[in-house]
Amino acid sequence: MLAYMIRRLLWTPVLLAIVSMVVFVLGAYGPGDPVEVRLGQNYTPEAAERLREQLGLNDPIAVQWGRYVWSAIQLDFGESFVFQGRTVGEVLGPRLWVSAQLNIAAFLITVGFGLPLGFYTAKRQGTWLDPSIVLVTLALMALPVFIVAPFFIWLFALQLDWVPVSGWGGFFDRRIIMPAVTIGVPGIAVFTRLMRASTLDVLGQEYIRTARSKGLAETVVNYRHIARNALIPIMTIMGFTFAGLFGGALITELIYGIPGVARIALDSILARDFPIVTAFVLIGATMLVVGNLLIDFIYTVVDPRIRLQ
Amino acid sequence: MRKSLFFWAAALVSVVAVACGGSDGSSEPTEQSTPTPVPTRASAPQISPDLQNGTPTDGSDTGPRSGGRFTLVYSDPPTLDPHLVVDGTSFGIVVELFSGLVSLDESLKIVPELAESFDVLEGGTVYEFKLRPNIRFSNGDPITAQDFKWSMERAARPETASAVAETYLGDIVGMKELINGDAGDASGIQVIDERTLRITIDAPKAYFLAKLTYPTAYVLNRENVESGGRSWTDDPVGTGAFTLAEYRIGQRIRLVRNENFWDRPAYLDEVLYNLSGGVSMAMYENDEIDITGVGLADLDRVNDPTEELNKDLVDTPAQFGVQYIGFNVAEPPFDDVKFRQALNLAVDKELISSQVFADLLEPAYGIIPPDFPGFNPDLEGLRYDLDRAKQLLSESRYADESSRPRIIVTVPGSGGSPGLDVEVIADMWRRDLGVTVEIQQVEWATYLQDLNRKRLQAWGGVAWQADYPDPQDFIDILFYSETQGNRGNYSNSTVDSLVEQARTEQDISKRVELYQEAERIIVDEAAWLPLWFDTDRKALLKQRVQDYRFTQIAIPKFKDVWVTDAQ
């Protein structure tokens, strides 16, 4: 098992190198030039040439990529083309941290409501509560963010005056509430339905009947035998959620004025700020690899059936 | 405060515009994410008269007082290094922190700043500046003529990599060699004594002084720049009315009063730029910011006199820019002047302005905007005349539709509307002239690249904004046959010779005549289809804020601002 883990970890840098190469090739052969975006409409060709030289854009693409990989190995991801004199870390770092906190808060809402609701509806299968709850969560999921967010602002900020209209003050600031709810609530439906299906699956298992026939209290059966087993398949989805930890939610960020990562990612693509774009893609790829690896590892810990195979 | 649901629409519109790359067609793409009346470099100012008299105060105390804070929504500036500034967002903050020898006042006149006076010698090739006595940087260091020489040379050095050093300082003797790395210093900048600086330029150029108002010519503190390395602007030593107290990327910039400012210190304790965005209209209503622009969607509401917000409504002056559809005159069918004229004459701009844009845009029949130096109020231009348009079309080489090359007008954007004006114009051409055009939308970086390579047959969705108040910035830069800014391959030997004469003409009224003559030829030959000049826009400004100046060009805004509830 350990050897398998190490082998997969060793492949990660190779994978990242390939991903970065794809970004480089797309940047070099796609339309658009970072120098022209930076200089706008009025500049001399000599000035553009000097800037291109300074940014190293005149070298062959293979040389540029090689240089990037070499610096990246030393954890130097270069400087932004747009924010002059600022490293990629300086530009992306604070925004990644903001997005991560917001995503964690949203995740807590999604899971905090989704899992209990799913469990509850499974236990009430066949009653009117089951389809009603699923319907409500699906309706909440169907509401687009550009309707929900302005409505929240109108209701909670302007009418009730509970929270400011926008801004960011960290995880424990009340301004996180509206964006976290906006991002977190649509996901409730996903976890409700997954948990419901998973719980129903477990309910039909022989060992549940065995547990009940042993005379165990219903709460013990519920929590130790049903819920814990039902959670196992859901971890895969949580792994993917983890991979999106540093992803941004563009419209939510824009409406609530959250200094997160989505806006800078979009702006960087439009401005051909390749160092930022590349770093962002690499972070996404890394998170996906690490997330999957983590889930595989946790499976072997929590589910003896997998360890035996 | 009564609050309403109407701002929804505005929220949606502004967010969608941003998500689509910031181009809503009726205005040029800018970096501004939220509608603030603040920066785009270079547009024109003049305070509207009612503002000049001051908005009504709370009553009791009428004089300016110190203290308080002004908060606004802004975007991250790409740089705070004055020598690297090429965009309006950076410019707007840099002018609060730094300054140069001369600056522009609200009426676009060049006025002494750190220099108390200057003389123009030797027939216009030598400028001798006398610095003010006892002027200091924000850290207390004295400012000397030597600092200016070092700063301008630093702006031009290849390692600084300023994209605009040549544009703004290239006229100074020896600068081109310095920019190319062939010289160690610029012989045209001489330090006569501590307070006297002499600048020699390569030919008498009337517009040179205007260029010195651009940040490329601002003075920096050598010790600060050299010890700070690449990130010296994190803790900059400046000469403006404010200094940088805090910059958190993506979150906020906080400026505080510079106690060593050469003039009366600013009244405000601090200026807070909120960089994380949000719905500025809602933030304004919730008293989180002191100023916001008003979009089309909110216009009806704020114009309603019964609305609370109506009391805060102010006019912001038009920007110095012109929107247009450009023609590539080297490409058929635009190589035929009669065809271009026909397209111009067939567009009823008055109708579009009143029916589509609620008169927020002023039809343009020339190149140079109203109130800008060199504006020609008597220019007739090619006004709507459908009969003449049809006749010119029939006389042109492309009268026959079957042999007419296909026409593509390219606009920037990412999937939204290509711009109502362009759509309506294309429709007018099709309906009234039988000329069919395709509108092609491409993303901004691609658009810019094609535009610079002169690959576009016709293009719209952009505006030209003045960088400094001189007609040279429009006529010479856009239509002289050899300049980079001439994207349409326009070439006319008479225009070229008029522009060359104007460059060195010392008599201001003669220069203006030369540019106006060139402009008349350009317009009559239909090198462009000029579309719109900006007109006044609306903004909301909290009534506690006094002496806030809406300007058409980026000049320091906050040094005279004060708030009635200070302390």
| pLDDT single digits (tens) A222-233 | 888 898 889 988
Q: Is residue B465 a contact partner of residue B318, using CB atoms and an 8 Å limit?
A: no
Kindly state whether residues A50 and A122 are assigned to the same domain. Answer: no
Put simply, whether B94 touches A (Cβ < 8 Å) is: no
Kindly state whether residues A147 and A68 are assigned to the same domain. Answer: no
- Comparing CB atoms, the residue among A31, A45, A51 nearest residue B446 is A31
pLDDT band at B224 (very low <50, low <70, confident <90, very high): very high
Q: Which residues of A touch B179 (CB under 8 A)?
A: 46
CA of residue B325 relative to chain centroid, distance: 19
Kindly state whether residues A226 and A164 are assigned to the same domain. Answer: yes
Q: Is A307 contained in some domain? A: no
Q: A195: helix, coil or strand?
A: helix
The single-letter DSSP state of residue A33 is -
Q: Per-residue pLDDT for B500 more than 80? A: yes
Q: B292: helix, coil or strand?
A: strand
- Taking the CA of residue A223 and the nearest CA in chain B, the distance in Å comes to 43
Kindly state whether residues A71 and A130 are assigned to the same domain. Answer: no
Find the closest chain A residue to B485 by CA distance. A42
Which residue bears the tokens 């004089």?
A: B63
**Interface contact B445-A37, CB threshold 8 A:** yes
Q: Is A308 contained in some domain? A: no
Question: Rounded to whole angstroms, how far apart are CA atoms B221 and B241?
Answer: 16
Q: Which residues of chain A have pLDDT under 70?
A: 1, 41-42, 306-309
- Domain limit, last residue, from A56, A84, A112: A84
How much of chain A exceeds pLDDT 70, in percent? 98
Question: Rounded to whole angstroms, how far apart are CA atoms B229 and B224?
Answer: 9
Q: Residue count of chain A, please give it.
A: 309
Residue B64 CB-density burial (10 A; 0-12 exposed, 13-18 middle, 19+ buried): middle
Q: What is the dihedral of CA B107, B110, B111, B112, to 10 degrees?
A: 160
List, for residues B87-97, the tens digit of each pLDDT value.
888 999 999 99
Helix A129-142 crosses helix A177-203 at what angle (to 10 degrees)? Answer: 140
Going B81 to B82 to B86 to B91, the CA torsion angle's sign is positive
Non-local CB neighbours of B384 within 8 Å, separated by 6+ positions: B345, B346, B347, B348, B349, B350, B351
Q: Is residue B151 a contact partner of residue B201, using CB atoms and an 8 Å limit?
A: no
Kindly state whether residues A278 and A181 are assigned to the same domain. Answer: yes
Q: Per-residue pLDDT for B484 more than 80? A: no
Q: Is residue B182 a contact partner of residue A63, using CB atoms and an 8 Å limit?
A: no
List, for residues B257-271, the tens digit of each pLDDT value.
999 999 999 999 999
Q: How many CB atoms lie within 10 A of CB A32?
A: 20
Q: Is residue B79 a contact partner of residue B211, using CB atoms and an 8 Å limit?
A: no
Best mutation site among B235, B276, B298 for testing chain A: the one with the most A CBs within 10 Å? B276
Residue type, B369: P
How much of chain B exceeds pLDDT 70, in percent? 89
Written as six digits, the tokens of B376 are 């020609």
Q: Per-residue pLDDT for B29 more than 60? A: no
Instruction: Tally the domains of chain A.
Output: 2
Q: A10: helix, coil or strand?
A: helix
Kindly state whether residues A94 and A115 are assigned to the same domain. Answer: yes
Kindly state whether residues A45 and A165 are assigned to the same domain. Answer: no
Q: Is A185 contained in some domain? A: yes
Question: Rounded to whole angstroms, how far apart are CA atoms B120 and B133?
Answer: 20
**Interface contact B11-A150, CB threshold 8 A:** yes
List, for residues B95-130, the tens digit of each pLDDT value.
999 999 999 888 888 899 999 999 999 888 999 999
Best CA proximity match to A31, nearest among A280, A262, A270: A270
Q: What is the CATH number of the domain that holds A246?
A: 1.10.3720.10
- Domain limit, last residue, from A54, A84, A114: A84
Question: Rounded to whole angstroms, how far apart are CA atoms A131 and B153?
Answer: 75
Written as six digits, the tokens of A298 are 């946790």
CA A238-A302-A15 angle, to 5 degrees, is 50
Q: Which residues of A touch B21 (CB under 8 A)?
A: 270
- Domain limit, last residue, from A64, A84, A104: A84
Q: How many CB atoms lie within 10 A of CB B441?
A: 21
**Interface contact B78-A82, CB threshold 8 A:** yes
Written as six digits, the tokens of A6 are 């190490």
Provide the domain limits for residue A68. Answer: 2-84
Q: Is A309 contained in some domain? A: no
**Interface list for B 8-27 with A (CB within 8 A):** 8, 11-12, 15-16, 18-19, 21
Best mutation site among B216, B279, B472 for testing chain A: the one with the most A CBs within 10 Å? B279
Written as six digits, the tokens of A275 are 């160092």
- Comparing CB atoms, the residue among A33, A39, A255 nearest residue B86 is A39
Put simply, whether B509 touches A (Cβ < 8 Å) is: no
DSSP string, A221-269: IIIIIIIHHHHHHHHHHHHHHHHTTT---HHHHHHHT---HHHHHHHHH
Q: Which residues of A touch B18 (CB under 8 A)?
A: 254
- Comparing CB atoms, the residue among B78, B249, B414 nearest residue A84 is B78
Kindly state whether residues A134 and A49 are assigned to the same domain. Answer: no
pLDDT band at B33 (very low <50, low <70, confident <90, very high): very low
**Interface contact B15-A166, CB threshold 8 A:** no
Q: Is residue B50 a contact partner of residue B43, using CB atoms and an 8 Å limit?
A: no
Non-local CB neighbours of A6 within 8 Å, separated by 6+ positions: none
Q: Is A210 contained in some domain? A: yes
Kindly state whether residues A74 and A118 are assigned to the same domain. Answer: no
Which residue bears the tokens 């300074």?
A: A54
ipTM, two decimals: 0.79
Question: Rounded to whole angstroms, how far apart are CA atoms B178 and B164?
Answer: 14
Kindly state whether residues A94 and A72 are assigned to the same domain. Answer: no
Kindly state whether residues A128 and A256 are assigned to the same domain. Answer: yes
List, for residues A183-220, the tens digit of each pLDDT value.
999 999 999 999 999 999 999 888 888 988 988 888 88
**Interface contact B282-A165, CB threshold 8 A:** yes
Find the closest chain B residue to A93 by CA distance. B249
**What global pTM score does this model have?**
0.79
Kindly state whether residues A66 and A95 are assigned to the same domain. Answer: no
Give me the total of CB pairs closer than 8 Å, taking one residue from chain A and one from chain B. 177
List, for residues A97-109, the tens digit of each pLDDT value.
999 999 999 999 9
Q: How many CB atoms lie within 10 A of CB B437?
A: 19
Q: Per-residue pLDDT for B24 more than 50? A: no
